[in-house]
Structures are given as C-alpha cells and as structure tokens.
Structure 1
Amino acid sequence: MLLALLGPLFAGEPGKRATSFTLGGGHWLGTDFVGRDVLRQVLLGGQSVVLVALAATVLAYAVALPLGLAAALTHRRWLEEVLMRPLDVLLAVPSLLAVLLVASVYAPGTAGLVLLVAVVNVPDAARIVRATAAEAAARPAVEALRMQGESRIRIALGYVGRTMLRTVAADAGVRLTGVLYLVATAAFLGVGVEPDAADWAVMVDRNRTGLFVQPWAVVVPALLIVALSMGTNLLFDAALAGRDATRRQEPAAGAARPAPGGTAGDPRTAAPGGDRGPGGNRPADEREETRR
C-alpha cells in the first residue's frame, strides 16, 4: 500500500529508453516491452490500482448503506421489495461479465471504471448491510428507543449503526480485496486504462510476451498485486482482533457489587430472609422436613 501510494514520489524522471526486455545496463529490474525502466514503472503503477479500488469501494458502500438500512428498518413490505428486488437482478450478473459487457459498448475512462465497479458491488454490500441491520433492529433496545421518541435516523445511525459496524468492516476488507482483483483484471483486459499506462495489471499483460526473457517485468507487479490484496485482509483482521481484545479487557457491565459491610457472594453477609427461616438459623428446607 505504501509503495503504491508513495512510489511516484521516488520514481524520478524518465530516462532514455533502452532495448526492450533486457537485464542490467543500469536497470535494476531490467526494461519492459518498449524499453522503459521496470523499477520506475513499478513505482508509478500501483497508485492507479489502489485509488480506483478505494474509490469504487467507498462509492459502493455510500449507496449500499442507506439502501440496506432503509430496507431493514422500514415497516412497509412493498418499500423493501422496491429497494431490494432490482439489486437481486443485478446480483445475478457476474461482476466481470458486467464490466466486459459495458466495455464492449463504450470504452470507459478511470471515472467510468470506478462507477462501473461500484455499481456491480452495490447489491452484495446492500444485502450484507440489510441482514446485519435487520438483526439489530429486532432487538428490544430499538423498540425502547422508538418509545422514547427517538427519530429513525438517530436509531439507524446510532444504535443500529454501532451494532453492525464489525460485520460491515469485515465485509469491507473482503470486498476491497475483490475490487482490487476486479480492477486489476479490467486493467489487464485494457478496460479503463491506456494500453501503455504505468499500471501493475497493464504491466503483467503487456510484458507477458517476454516472460522467459525478462521475468521481472511480469513477476514483480504480479506479486505486488497479490501482496496488496493479502495485506488488505490482514490489516482488517488485525484491526478487528485489536477491537475484540479491547472489549474483552473492559469490565463487564452490571457486574455484581459487594453488599454493604461484606463481600459479594459471601454467604455470611447474605441478607436476612434468604435461605434462613424467620425463627432460627436452619435453612427453610430443613424446617419443612421437620414439620413433615
């Protein structure tokens, strides 16, 4: 991620082009299919992949969150059907197929690729949000908030939003990885980027003809795409694990407090009238047995 975002700062000026698919000659990773320095292309090629994937993921959730919350919190069945059924139709179309179909009609630029990837990810994200929000909305706390006169927006963004945060965050990590692969695949197929652009996926596609002559031009960008996807999942897993560890360390709410003048759970400090009879120290079950 750091290499993708900060790499252009260290790329420097383009040097004189050399022979294609050569090793050495002052080029640490050799040259590519048109004689450009592979190391410089690697430093430049990650920013487009990361920014497009992040923008598409954020845009997808910007649409999926209000749709999923509205479908989960509404009391009108027809409104839920209106919101969710069109998304189910779109969900039936494979993401890559939708990208290829749109690309066959017109060639989208970077903004078009962001919009297209976001649209194909909205249905799945909205269903996750709806299912998580519906479970939280069925709890007694939500009914109590309604009886107190809280607005639907405050309930949705307050209690329900906090309850579903963990599940949505976990889904966002997996979805960002899927978006990364979809963006890389689209760039590999020439959708949304120029054929000679400094892009990791484009580098894999354009340099594969010289794989056995100059493998670094293909292996390095391919490994960086894999490392970026794996690192994204590990980052989200670590964040969620740290949050769980923090919650486990917090004292349990409503823990038993010691009774005045004694210790909680100590039978010697139990209040009168518990398991003792009104006229002595024998337990009530012993006195009942004596009467029998």
Structure 2
Amino acid sequence: MTGRSRVIAVPALLVLLIAMAGPWIPVDSTTVPIGGPFEAPAGAHPLGTDVLGRDVLPRVLVGGRVLVTQAAAATLLGSLIGLALGVWLGVTHRRTAGRVLMRMVDGLAALPALLLILLLATGVPGNDAAVAAAIALVTVPFSVRIIRECTARLAATDYARHAEARGERTLTRVRYDILPGLVPVAMAEAGIRFVAATQLAATAGFLGLGAGAPVANWGRMVRENGTGIAMNPLPVIVPAALLILLAVGVTILLDRASESTRLAPERIERTA
C-alpha cells in the first residue's frame, strides 16, 4: 500500500472504529439537552450542541453504528445475490431462462433507487433491517451485470472450455476455472457497492427512514442541524466528513485487497 493510500485508509479504519465502538464509550446522554440550540464548542462539549441543545459528541459516537451496519449488511447480501445470479448467467446454456432473468434484472435497475427504497422501507416503518434489505435490492442489478460479463469472459478461456469438453460438472468448473479470476472483480465491485450502500443508508437516515428520532444517525444529523450551520457547523460537518472518509477509505482498502488477490490468468491445479 502506498503512502497516499495509507493516509486515506487509516482514517477510514478510525471511522469504522468510531462507528462500531462509539456506543460503548461512556459519554453523556444522546437525548437529554445540555444547553441551548447550536451552542459553540466548549471544554466539556467539544462539538457544541445541536438543534435541540443536545451534546453533539455523544450523538456522533452513537450515530454511525446503524448506518455502517446497514451498509455492510446490504453489501454482503447484495454481493451474494449478485455473485450467484451473475455466475449462473455467465455459464448457463439455458438462453431463454437467462434472457428472462436478465430482463427482470434490467427492469429492477430501471426503477429509481431512492423511490424503491422509500416504498420498501416505509412499508415497515422504523425497521432498520428493512432499509438494509431495500438497499441490497436496488444495488443487485449492477452487481449481476458486472459479475455476468466477467464470468462469461472467464468461461470462454481455453482452459475453461477444455474442462467443459471433458464433461466436468458446472460447480467444479466454477470453483476452479471461474472463481479464481472472479475474486478481484468481486472485491472491487463490493467496494463500489459499499460506497453506494453507505450513501443510500445516509440518505435513508436523512429522510427519516428506519429507526426514528431521537435515535442518532449521521445522515439524519446532517438534515436536523442544517438550519444552524451558521451558528455551529460542527453538527453537520463532522458526520458528513465521517461519511466521506469512510466511503473513500473503504474503496481504497478493497481496491488494494483485490490487487493482492489477483491471480495469473491460468488454471489452478486441483489437489488430490
């Protein structure tokens, strides 16, 4: 990892640490007002107060866990679905079934992502899991297309075609001929998916989806405190900056990880 990448990756890891461990840090209440709205930072309250006079620091420490968990869950679920469908579409000879499935995927991709999230999440109000599932669903079509194209390219290589000519099972060919070359692409795609999922989770929080107020949420904090940015910008700037560092840093980390796992374009020998 280069020095420039490390500069971004280290803050991203710190953001993840804040998001996941922040709720365990002993701080003041996230819901009880401790002063007037948008008070400037003071010794005991280094980020000042928010729109309701609550201490901003505890809300920043608590507000990232749900958002990061939603993004991670949506990334994992969407990647698993995208990988399964994309690999099947890339190796299957059932062209009619493949075309029908791709038209369904294209139809889902044509729907506005935010509108679909609103429809699905509002159907189960106050449910963070519903938001994560909705985010996974709207990002699956792009994963399917990327994985399908890469799988089809790998399936057309000489060693993969020779394996098929020998009558080897599809799962065996996928394991030894497709997955080794697919791993770097899948990891890079997961990085893009996580960035998109983070943005969508923050947007969902901004719109009030999932667990409602007074639960702290970085996305909701940006919306709630926008009116007082001239008096105390920290309740808006700090959660927004954490989201940006997280998205950019995780992308770089996964990109470097995908480079380290990139294999030569030759078949991995089976072990007895």
TM-score, length-normalised on structure 2? 0.84
Task: Give me the whole-angstrom Cα distance separating, in 2, the residues matched to 1:119 and 1:191.
Answer: 16
Task: Give me the whole-angstrom Cα distance separating, in 1, the residues matched to 2:186 and 2:124.
Answer: 33
Is the aligned partner of 1:122 residue 2:137?
Answer: no
The SS at the match of 1:54 is helix
Task: State which structure, 1 or 2, has the greater radius of gyration over its C-alpha atoms.
Answer: 1
Aligned with residue 7 of structure 1, among 5, 22, 32: 22
- Greater RCO, CA 8 A, separation 6+: 2
Aligned residue for 1:190?
208
The structural deviation recorded for 1:153 is 1.0
Q: Pairwise CA RMSD of aligned residues?
A: 2.1
Q: Is the 8 A contact 2:82 2:140 kept in 1?
A: yes
Q: Residues 32-51 of structure 1 correspond to what in structure 2 (within 5 A)?
A: 32-51=50-69
Task: Give me the whole-angstrom Cα distance separating, in 1, the residues matched to 2:211 and 2:124.
Answer: 13
Task: Give me the whole-angstrom Cα distance separating, in 2, the residues matched to 1:95 and 1:128.
Answer: 18
**Measured at CA, do residues 206 and 69 of structure 1 come closer, stay the same or move farther in structure 2, by a change above 3 Å?**
same
Aligned residue for 1:163?
181
Task: Give me the whole-angstrom Cα distance separating, in 2, the residues matched to 1:226 and 1:32.
Answer: 21
Aligned residue for 1:227?
245
Q: Which residue type is aligned with residue 18 of structure 1?
A: I
Q: Residues 82-97 of structure 1 correspond to what in structure 2 (within 5 A)?
A: 82-97=100-115
**Measured at CA, do residues 237 and 61 of structure 1 come closer, stay the same or move farther in structure 2, by a change above 3 Å?**
closer
CA deviations over 1:183-216 (Å, ceiling 9, x no partner)? 1011101112313221111111111121111211
Q: Residues 107-186 of structure 1 correspond to what in structure 2 (within 5 A)?
A: 107=125, 109-186=127-204
**Measured at CA, do residues 108 and 68 of structure 1 come closer, stay the same or move farther in structure 2, by a change above 3 Å?**
farther
Q: Is the 8 A contact 1:71 1:79 kept in 2?
A: no
Q: Is the 8 A contact 2:185 2:258 kept in 1?
A: no
Listed as ranges, the gaps of 5+ residues in structure 1 are: 249-292
Q: Is the 8 A contact 1:196 1:202 kept in 2?
A: no
Aligned residue for 1:253?
none
Larger deviation: 153-162 or 38-47?
153-162
Q: Which residue type is aligned with residue 162 of structure 2?
A: A
Listed as ranges, the gaps of 5+ residues in structure 2 are: 1-15, 265-272
Is the aligned partner of 1:22 residue 2:20?
Answer: no
The structural deviation recorded for 1:34 is 2.1
Q: Which residue type is aligned with residue 85 of structure 2?
A: L
Count matched residues: 247
Task: Give me the whole-angstrom Cα distance separating, in 2, the residues matched to 1:188 and 1:176.
Answer: 18
The SS at the match of 1:164 is helix
Q: Is the 8 A contact 1:8 1:43 kept in 2?
A: yes
Task: Give me the whole-angstrom Cα distance separating, in 2, the residues matched to 1:193 and 1:49.
Answer: 11
The structural deviation recorded for 1:161 is 1.1
Q: Is the 8 A contact 1:91 1:123 kept in 2?
A: yes
Aligned residue for 1:257?
none
**Measured at CA, do residues 92 and 233 of structure 1 come closer, stay the same or move farther in structure 2, by a change above 3 Å?**
same
Aligned with residue 233 of structure 2, among 215, 219, 222: 215
Task: Give me the whole-angstrom Cα distance separating, in 1, the residues matched to 2:258 and 2:71.
Answer: 21
CA deviations over 1:42-71 (Å, ceiling 9, x no partner)? 111111111100000111112111111111
Task: Give me the whole-angstrom Cα distance separating, in 2, the residues matched to 1:165 and 1:122.
Answer: 17
CA deviations over 1:129-163 (Å, ceiling 9, x no partner)? 11000000111211222244422112113320111
Aligned residue for 2:12?
none
